[in-house]
Chains A and B, each alone.
Chain A
Amino acid sequence: AQSVTQPDIHITVSEGASLELRCNYSYGATPYLFWYVQSPGQGLQLLLKYFSGDTLVQGIKGFEAEFKRSQSSFNLRKPSVHWSDAAEYFCAVGASFGNEKLTFGTGTRLTIIP
């Protein structure tokens, strides 16, 4: 069974600074990987996804993530954060075969300071 670890519960970043959110997964084959963002009181919105090909994937809102098989990681990055990026971020992993259910990490809450 697949699993996901997001080691950082809460991160605080200054507006305009760079951001990296960590995600490590466990899965026996090449996984399907996702990053979702949740604003307060809202549902989850997909930022980006990886399933094959180029290991650096671009998403919405200026986010990118890099799949590193050797490190079992799929870290999310943004070169310059905006106050509107304050939210909770979830990494998720899906099996590359079988059903499409996803396993989510526990989330990282991002706070932006002026």
Chain B
Amino acid sequence: NAGVTQTPKFQVLKTGQSMTLQCAQDMNHNSMYWYRQDPGMGLRLIYYSASEGTTDKGEVPNGYNVSRLNKREFSLRLESAAPSQTSVYFCASSTPRLAGGRNTGELFFGEGSRLTVL
């Protein structure tokens, strides 16, 4: 039972290089998210996808692009990496919030991807 799987777990880039973080979930969730975690700042939402084929900006989208490839996969791309993008990136997916039900949009997280930009 894998849950949310992120790759790679670690990556070192030089300024200006590009890369894509991959995320896949096997829980049949509609919504998926990318957060970044920085010391003293908690988790900040970069982008999210409420369903296959839709994406929306979060709190800190600049410098990133996303693709919701299908229901399972949600990738995050850095086109031209900058040192300010050094961070730990978390992918998450969520259960739907059902009217009158007990599903409350709980997030399930991957183990994170630690990115260093030199």
Q: Name A's B-contacting residues (CB within 8 A).
A: 6, 9, 32, 34, 36, 41-46, 49, 51, 90, 92, 94, 99-107
Contact = CB atoms under 8 A, between A and B. Distances in A.
B43 interface: yes
Given A42-B111, A44-B107, A51-B104, A101 B41 contact: no
A9 B43 CA distance: 14
B105 A102 contact: yes
Interface string B6-27: 0000000000000000000000
Contacts of B112: 41-43
A38 to B, nearest CB: 9
9 contacts: A36-B109, A42-B112, A43-B112, A51-B102, A94-B104, A101-B45, A102-B45, A103-B45, A106-B40
B90 A100 contact: no
Interface in B21-78: 31, 33, 35, 40-45, 48, 50, 56, 58
A104 B40 CA distance: 12
A101 to B, nearest CB: 5
Contacts of A42: 111-112
B90 A43 contact: yes
Contacts of A100: 31, 50, 94-97, 105, 107
A36 B109 CA distance: 10
A24 B109 CA distance: 23
